[in-house]
Structure 1
Amino acid sequence: MTKIAIIGGGMVGLSQAIALADAGIEVTVIDREDPKTILNTKFDGRTSAIAWKSYKFLDKIGAWAEMARHGQPINDIRVSDNKSPLFVHFDHSDVGDDPFGYIIENRHIRAALYKRAKQLKSLKLLAPAEITNLDLENSAISLKSGDIIKYQLLIGADGKNSFVRKTAGISEFRKSYGQMGIVCTIEHELPHNGLAHEKFLPAGPFAVLPMQGNRSSLVWTEPSELAPIYMQMADTEFLAEIEKRCGYLGKLKLVEGRWCYPLELMHSDKYIKDNMLLIGDAAHSIHPIAGQGVNLGFRDAELLTDMITENMKLGLGAASGKMLEGYENIRKLDNRMMIFATDTLNRLFSNSILPIKLARSWGLGIVNEIPPLKRFFMRQASGKT
């Protein structure tokens, strides 16, 4: 019997496994993807903004050094509202020496986590593996290979459409934003200087996130009915549209391709059931407007690791009811606050009603002129709370 079984070996699931195994706890991770794919994946346009608090966690579990080689520090953040002359500029040096965070390609994050996982004797990775039955009542996972994994605690880290959550009969709240996120990477003539720029346009946010070299990752929000038009454009037309929105970077070139996905809010009604709990996107999936999705998952993993290790020191095991309830209460509150913030921001800034536009511009100007308020928002962005 393994102490803890984790279904899902993505960024959050694997970081959770590493954190627990690093503390000497026996963990088994089950994932359907072949590790060879993780190590040999070509660039697919996906990047993550790793906040200060998250990279401190990743460093603590021994996974950061490998990732850092591929990371671009975010030194400044600029928030602007379409054509308004008012904006907010956040400088990392106003709240410390560390950058706000780093932009890293997801493939490099996953590869670094996989390499770290292979170093830990307490961590067993079963991949590729196919689950044929999940018996929550008897705490057993049956695999197509014929193996049966018994566990004390099951962690579901298998994404927004979680098989674990569905099997447990846990319902969830979903809200479609009627928007699509267009993701691509550009090379540009002028340097970005580590500046992340979030520009709020009538259709939704347009984020330019700095990557290593003269490259930036774009997260471009458009209404669901318009996004396919941009996706079908020739590269020259598509780049012309980008230049209208971020011409300050000089001549642009599209790297690889472009991707598009629907934007949706999902929040699980419960995070726990008996000796099972949910983390990451299996529990909550938010609008990308603040770039905090994976960071919430890392916060889940860090708290859960602390609670489990403390519980086991006290001889209470890995799945005591009070511990699981404590995890749910703490993480639900934090996640609800972020869900409310991102949902409100999206509604507020994806809006062309004149009074709201004026209020937005006024608000940006006020924040820029009040240092304590500015520092508060900077600490929120980096996770230094």
Structure 2
Amino acid sequence: MNICLIGDGLTNLVLAKILANKNISISVCFESKKKKKSTSRTIGISKNNFDFFKSNIIDIKKISWPINYIQIFNELNQIEEILNFKSTDSQLFFIVKHSELYELVQKDIKKNKFIKKIKIKKSFYDEIIENNKFDLIINSETQNKISKKIFFKRITKDYKSVAFTTIVKHQKCINNKAVQIFTSCGPLAFLPYSNTETSIVFSVLDEKKNKSEKEIKELIIKYNKYYKINSFKNFEKYNLKFSILRKYYHKNILCFGDNLHNIHPLAGQGFNMTLRDIKILSDLIDEKIDLGLPLDSSILKEFESKTKHLNYIFSSGINFIHEFFKFDNKYGNNYSKEILKYLGKNNLFNKYISKFADQGLVL
């Protein structure tokens, strides 16, 4: 059994470890381009996926920070929350620095005899499409020749927004509460990373305004009611787009990760969606191995059948939340406060939303 993973991003490193656990030979093929190392990007990992990581990939407890309370406010009232989620007996999710998680997984797979990394040469893409060297090919890169030539039909939407990320250093405090504020400029999230550091994600609406780093700092300080900030680390900026692939596979090639679905960072669910996809793909491969069947395109067909509708509904749900609050702020209305306060009192609603964020959509 021989599988090729195109791209050496975090998604493929995690997938490589999962597949290598099954004694499958893995080739992680990557283009030798210098990638800018992110220092301020953080990832929210659900409790369910955190446990999956520990059992199947590597224990990430030492580089993770637990969150047991989430508060949601709108700009009109930062004193009275419009929604909250809390857990007294377990964690809701964990915050991890992307760079630290990447380095940890990369260091771990270097020791694995089933995994090898290969630099992509000029003729690689033509050869890999034409020959049958690999049982399966999994492509997690959005801008390579395969994606542009074969997987170009997408449902897309430009949010016309820019996400600014940074990490603030502040005075020491008990710091296990995440806060989301829907401001007139866009959603602002405070995501604790330690007792002295907190990750900031500010998705600023209307990229034409081109707000400067200084203006973003001033807005963060304006809305900050939680920390005595000492300093800001470097700011990083990302354009925000909604993208879902219409067709998941072609012959023995499967698209994966951000290549399948790229959603608004509003709920921090992008990487969690990918981890859920990894679980499903892993289970399908296990079924084939247990039955003594070959790893072929039938797995990819089953994967698309099991995940496509769920990923679309889940992604659309995140998109709806973003659009609802955008509308609410744009017209100076206060629908969110009354609607979410009403729903927040419903225990069944809170339980479902918590499960939705933790485990994804299950029908």
1:99–1:162 CA distance, 2 compared to 1 (3 A): farther
Tell me which amino acid in the other structure corresponds to 1:21. A
Alpha-carbon shift at residue 294 of structure 1 (Å): 0.9
Tell me which amino acid in the other structure corresponds to 1:73. P
SS of residue matched to 1:357: coil
Map of 1:59 onto structure 2: 54
Q: Is the 8 A contact 1:4 1:318 kept in 2?
A: no
Distance (Å, rounded) in 1 between the aligned partners of 2:175 and 2:39: 24
Q: Name structure 2 gaps, 5 residues minimum.
A: none
SS of residue matched to 2:212: helix
Map of 1:23 onto structure 2: 22
Q: Percentage identity across aligned positions?
A: 23
Q: Is the 8 A contact 1:27 1:124 kept in 2?
A: yes
Q: Is the 8 A contact 2:184 2:329 kept in 1?
A: no
Q: CA RMSD in A?
A: 2.4
Q: 1:113 aligns with which of 89, 105, 114?
A: 105
Tell me which amino acid in the other structure corresponds to 1:74. I
Map of 1:75 onto structure 2: 68
User: What does the per-residue CA deviation read over 1:213-233, in whole Å, with 9 as the maximum and x for residues that have no partner?
Assistant: 3111111011243663232x2
User: What does the per-residue CA deviation read over 1:7-53, in whole Å, with 9 as the maximum and x for residues that have no partner?
Assistant: 0121111111110101111111112358xx99xx9662111111122
SS of residue matched to 1:240: helix
TM-score, normalised on structure 1? 0.86
Distance (Å, rounded) in 1 between the aligned partners of 2:316 and 2:227: 33
Q: Name structure 1 gaps, 5 residues minimum.
A: 141-149
User: What does the per-residue CA deviation read over 1:177-221, in whole Å, with 9 as the maximum and x for residues that have no partner?
Assistant: 011111111012252521111111123211111102311111101
Map of 1:145 onto structure 2: none
Map of 1:276 onto structure 2: 253
Map of 2:124 onto structure 1: 133
Q: Is the 8 A contact 1:16 1:301 kept in 2?
A: yes
1:152 aligns with 2:135: yes
| Most deviating of 129-138 and 180-189 | 129-138
Matches within 5 A, 1:155-234: 155-158=138-141, 160-189=142-171, 191=173, 193-225=175-207, 228-231=210-213, 233=214
1:45 aligns with 2:40: yes
Tell me which amino acid in the other structure corresponds to 2:98. N
1:261 aligns with 2:238: yes
Distance (Å, rounded) in 1 between the aligned partners of 2:137 and 2:37: 32
Q: 1:330 aligns with which of 306, 309, 332?
A: 306
SS of residue matched to 1:239: helix
SS of residue matched to 1:351: helix
1:169–1:339 CA distance, 2 compared to 1 (3 A): closer
Q: 1:89 aligns with which of 59, 78, 84?
A: 84
User: What does the per-residue CA deviation read over 1:106-163, in whole Å, with 9 as the maximum and x for residues that have no partner?
Assistant: 111111111221232222222x4445332354346xxxxxxxxx211100112x4354
Tell me which amino acid in the other structure corresponds to 1:188. H
Alpha-carbon shift at residue 59 of structure 1 (Å): 1.4
Distance (Å, rounded) in 2 between the aligned partners of 1:68 and 1:56: 10
Matched residues, number: 358
Q: Is the 8 A contact 1:86 1:364 kept in 2?
A: no
Distance (Å, rounded) in 2 between the aligned partners of 1:227 and 1:71: 35
User: What does the per-residue CA deviation read over 1:237-289, in whole Å, with 9 as the maximum and x for residues that have no partner?
Assistant: 6533211111221234102x101111001111101111111111011101111
1:79–1:163 CA distance, 2 compared to 1 (3 A): farther
Map of 1:147 onto structure 2: none
User: What does the per-residue CA deviation read over 1:331-350, in whole Å, with 9 as the maximum and x for residues that have no partner?
Assistant: 11221112111110111011
Tell me which amino acid in the other structure corresponds to 1:383. Q
| Most deviating of 281-290 and 215-224 | 215-224
1:311 aligns with 2:288: yes
1:363–1:27 CA distance, 2 compared to 1 (3 A): same
1:383–1:356 CA distance, 2 compared to 1 (3 A): farther
SS of residue matched to 1:297: helix
1:355–1:185 CA distance, 2 compared to 1 (3 A): closer
Alpha-carbon shift at residue 165 of structure 1 (Å): 2.3
